[in-house]
Structure 1
Amino acid sequence: MEQIISLIGGFAGALTPMNLLLLFIGAMLGTAVGVLPGLGSSMAVALLLPVTFSMDPTGALIMFAGVYYGGLFGDSISGILLNTPGSATAIAGSFEGHRMALDGRAAKALATSALGAFTGGLLATTVVVFTSPYIVKLASMFGPAEYFALAVFAFIAISWVVSESFIKGIASLAIGLLIALVGVDGVSGTVRLTMDVPHLFDGIDIIVVTVGLLALGEVFYRASRRRTVPGRSSIISSGRPWLNRKEIRQAMPAWLRGTAFGLPFGAIPAGGAEVPSFLAYSTEKKLAQRRRDSDFGTRGAIQGVAGPEAAGNATAGSAMGALLAIGLPTSATAAIMLAAFRQYGMQPGPLLFDRSADLVWTLFASLFLGLFVLLALNLPFAPLWAKLLKIPAHLLYPGIAVLAAVGVYAIGGSVIDLALLFGLGLLGLLMRRFDLPMAPVLIGVILGPMAETELRRSVSVAEGQLSYFVSSPVTIALYGVLAIGAIVLLVIKFRKRTVLKRETKTVSQPEQVGSGTN
């Protein structure tokens, strides 16, 4: 009951003409930036962060709510229409979504994505509103060992799941941890990897890292390829952007399943929605095989879009709850949102609900409103977003590079940040060239400092007793899940090798018999 009263007060603060205008502008700009290849939702938040410097905290955070959800939907638009997802989160949904677009059902794919994002985000935000006090209580039970276990879980899970090769995932994670080491050690005061540049004593800003690796890295990668860059496409968003009753009945269970996958992952530092979206996609694929759905993997199935999209936005909704209640950014976008909070002198965590309760509940209300604005903005007009991608490549990618440079310079006002941006862009080019995943780098940069700090605190508290690291139910559960996951993945890999050997023998035997008869 107390949460409902607080939420009603939040709606009273959010439902003003100016705040609604800021919410609408944020959703529109977030979608427009997120739809551009190489940028994505995290870039939408990062590049629009300087715009809010002179705004009051309430208006700025309401605008960010629109940008937050608008950017997530923008990620999926380019993935569905051009098979170029705006971020790793949108990859799973683009598999079937792009097949639907090739089949002339792009509008239906975009509608499925928008409704899935709405369903997942609405359910997740509702759960967060009514469970936020319990999340705060749970956060108070976490100590150094629990936070370190969370960081280790995130490192291993994201490196293993989102990458085809565990070695490549660990290599990307190592790059992220190396970047996180730059600066002055807060405990010992040791200067690390700064090359005697005073500007680097505070480390490399997460926004510089994200913009450099994702946006500028994509620009360099596209410029290095001789073939035509995505930007001119023959795919037309044909058809009406509405689903009939049969299609809604097909999509609804997938939306609910995707939301169930996304909810818990938003509360743990797994780097974003990559893991739950792929889990949702694989679940829908297995279910399609059981019901012998011939559209899945060929013409494109609605369930293959609905599940991952709902999982992505459900993760985003619960990630916002984890950020506000625990102060823990569980994705790159949440980390940039954390920077926005700190910009106004606020530190998310258990005390935020006491010190800035009015602002927190206004933000919760704006998240609900942002979902409805997103649906109203994108459901009827989703096919029109494709025209943004008709911009010629020789204008599109230089524009992205200029936008990235201006955004980074506006944040720090330093030429060194621009040099770092260029260097990280080259690093992003090399990572794409050698097929190294981006998610482990970002999670390493985001959670690396926290992992180091909590490890030192744990060692200090443990006084040489290694059992301290597995002395609570939380740590045992996290390490246990990692161990079980490793065993399951190894068994699956072994079975695949066995099946492959059997198929190879089956194919080779007729050839041997045929050669003998001749």
Structure 2
Amino acid sequence: MDILENIMMGLSVAVTPINILFLIIGAFVGMVVGLIPGFGPTAGIAILLSLTFSMDPVTAVIMLAGIYYGSMYGGTITSILINTPGESATVASTFDGYPLARNGRVGPALVMQAVASFIGGTVGVLLISGFAPYFSQIASTFGPPEFFLLIAIGLLALIVVMGDNKVNGAISALLGLAISLVGVDVISGTQRYTFGSPELINGIYFLPVAIGLFGIGELFHSIYQGLHKEENKEMISFKKKDSFWPSKKEWSESKGTFARGSFLGFFIGVLPGAGATVASLMSYSLEKKVSKTPKKFGKGFMPGLVAPEAANNAASSGAMIPLLTLGIPGSGATAVLLGAFLMWGLQPGPLMMSQEPEFAWGLITSMYLGNIILIVVNIFAIPFFIKIMQVPYKLLVPVIMILCTIGTFSLNGSIVETWIMLAFGVIGLFMKLYDFSPAAVVLALVLGPMAENALRQTLITSGGSFMIFLERPVSLIFVIAVLFIIGIPLVKFVMGLFRRESNTA
């Protein structure tokens, strides 16, 4: 009953003309951002965050959340039409989405991805409503040792899921932690790595770094690849003889996929560091394993599109649980959202659900409404989005560059932060070229000060003894989890060495 009361309270906050207006704007902008190859929710939120400073915090966060999950919808349109994922979470959607389009099923593919996204997002929000209060109650028992270990688990999980580039992921996270050290030591009051600059006394703000890495960096990378010189890719178009709506057989083949993808995606999204990309790939793999016709996957099979779409949208919802209840972001996009919360004086964590219930439940219920808006927009505005995709990339370059520069300078009127943004744009280019992780940098930059403060408080409480991590039951469980996360890659590495030796022998 409490959940229903909370939802009704949230609806009273979300369902106001101004909030609905900005929710629609956020969802629409998110879809447009998703259409731009390489850009995703992180870049969209980072670039547009500075435009929300004068807005009411609840309205601003509702709009930014609309950009966050709206980009998941938009990113799949490019995956289906031109075989180019709008962002990493929609990579798996190209496997069957583009073959479907080439087989004359572009209309059904776009409709089905919208329905899968709607179901995945709605299931995710329903599960948030049920699980978030319990997560909040459990988290309220945590102290500094538990929070430090939770942050460590989040960063380690992000590195582990990076596939074959774990070393690059670790280096990226260490770079973010190093940047977070700039400023004043909270214990001694001494300056660290400020080089005498008064602009750096308060540290390097996360937003210029995020805009540089995700906005300018992606822009530079696209220019490096020559996208500004190329004509638009050949695009699948609608034909009058082709049906716009999925067939009964396609609905029947996908009915179980909606549920499996949604629940799997949500619970993967809850894990700090996993994210929508991992959820979509795992959902596609699971669906292929349970299918009676696995040979159809990759050739234009509708469940192969439904599975990653349901999963990545459910994961986007799931990632809000650790953000709201623990104050720990699970992805680059939620890291920027966390920065936005802190900028408005809102502290996500165990007490948010009780101290700021109108904000927390207003945000959650806005996600219900956002999914309804997005499925309507996604289906009926497809021709409009196709027109947007036909805009030459060379015309988008100056617009994005101006937005990034004005957005960064308007934060504090600081030319130093503008130069920092441009510098990280160059760093972001090289990170893309050499397969490093900009998301790990931003996550570590946001989490670094939190981890340092939690560790300092822990050691002050224990008199400098690290045994406190083993003396508390919950922190001991987290220590075991950390060792488990570190141990899995090491065991795989050692087993690989033994196999090589046995093969050579």
Which residues of structure 2 form unaligned runs of 5+? none
Query: Per-residue CA shift, 1:454-481, capped at 9, x if unaligned?
Result: 2222333333543322444544444444
Between 1:452-461 and 1:264-273, the stretch displaced more is 264-273
Matched, 1:284 2:287: yes
Deviations, residues 429-487 of structure 1 (Å, cap 9, x unaligned): 11122122333222222222222222222333333543322444544444444555566
Residue 212 to residue 351, structure 1, CA distance change in 2 (3 Å): same
Q: Distance in 1 between matches of 2:432 and 2:483?
A: 30
Q: Which residue of 2 aligns with 1:270?
A: 273
1:205 paired residue number: 205
Percent sequence identity is 35
| 1:105-116 matches, cutoff 5 A | 105-116=105-116
Moved more, 177-186 or 495-504: 495-504
Matched residues, number: 502
User: Given the superposition, is the C-alpha separation of residues 151 and 344 from structure 1 closer, same or farther in structure 2, using an over 3 Å criterion?
Assistant: closer
Which secondary structure state, in structure 2, belongs to the residue aligned with residue 294 of structure 1? helix
| Structure 2 Cα separation of the partners of residues 107 and 195 of structure 1 | 58
Structure 1, 163-172 or 243-252: larger mean CA deviation: 243-252
Deviations 1:51-106 (A, max 9, x none): 33333334333333422321232233334434443333333334443444444444
Q: CA deviation at 1:151?
A: 1.8
Q: Which residue of 1 aligns with 2:461?
A: 461
CA distance in 1, matches of 2:52, 2:227: 39
Tell me how far apart the structure 1 counterparts of residues 119 and 274 of structure 2 sit (CA, whole Å): 22
Letter in 2 for 1:424: F
Q: How far is the alpha carbon of 1:237 from its aligned partner?
A: 4.4
1:191 aligned partner, one-letter code: Q
2:131 corresponds to: 131
Residues 409-434 of structure 1 show CA distances to partners (whole Å, capped at 9, x for unaligned) of 22232211221111111111111221
- 1:317 aligned partner: 317
Q: In the alignment, which residue of structure 2 is the partner of 1:248?
A: 251
Closer/same/farther in 2, CA of residues 492 and 322 from structure 1, 3 Å limit: closer
Alignment of 1:88-487 (within 5 A): 88-226=88-226, 232-238=232-238, 240=243, 242-270=245-273, 272-287=275-290, 291-297=292-298, 299-484=299-484
Asked whether the 8 Å contact 2:151–2:328 carries over to 1, the reply is no
Question: Which letter does structure 2 place at the counterpart of 1:60?
Answer: A
1:334-381 Cα deviation digits (max 9, x unpaired): 233233334443323333334433333332221111110011110233
Could you tell me the TM-score, scaled by structure 1's length?
A: 0.86
Q: Which amino acid aligns with 2:247?
A: N
- The structural deviation recorded for 1:398 is 2.7
Whole-angstrom distance in 2 between the partners of 1:34 and 1:410: 25
CA distance 1:345–1:439, shift in 2 (3 Å) = closer
Cα distance in structure 2, aligned partners of 1:498 and 1:80: 43
- The structure-2 alpha-carbon separation of the partners of 1:303 and 1:465, relative to structure 1 and needing over 3 Å to count, comes to farther
Find the aligned partners of 2:154 and 2:50 in 1 and give their Cα distance. 29
Pair 1:503–1:373, CA change in 2 (3 A): farther
The separation in 2 between residues aligned to 1:475 and 1:319, in whole angstroms, is 22
Using the alignment, how far apart are the partners of 2:444 and 2:101 within structure 1?
35
Q: Is the 8 A contact 1:128 1:317 kept in 2?
A: yes
RMSD across aligned positions (CA): 3.1
1:516 matched residue in structure 2: none
Cα drift, residue 402 of structure 1: 2.0
Amino acid across the alignment from 1:295? K
For 2:120 and 2:302, locate their aligned partners in 1 and report how far apart those are by CA, in whole Å: 16
Aligned to 1:62: 62
Contact 2:213 2:425 in 1 (8 A): yes
Task: Note if contact 1:102-1:235 (Cα within 8 Å) is conserved in structure 2.
Answer: no
Secondary structure in 2 aligned to 1:273?
helix
Q: Distance in 2 between matches of 1:285 and 1:175?
A: 38
One-letter amino acid matched to 2:296? D
**Change in 2 beyond 3 A, CA 1:468/1:197:** same
SS in 1 for 2:346: coil
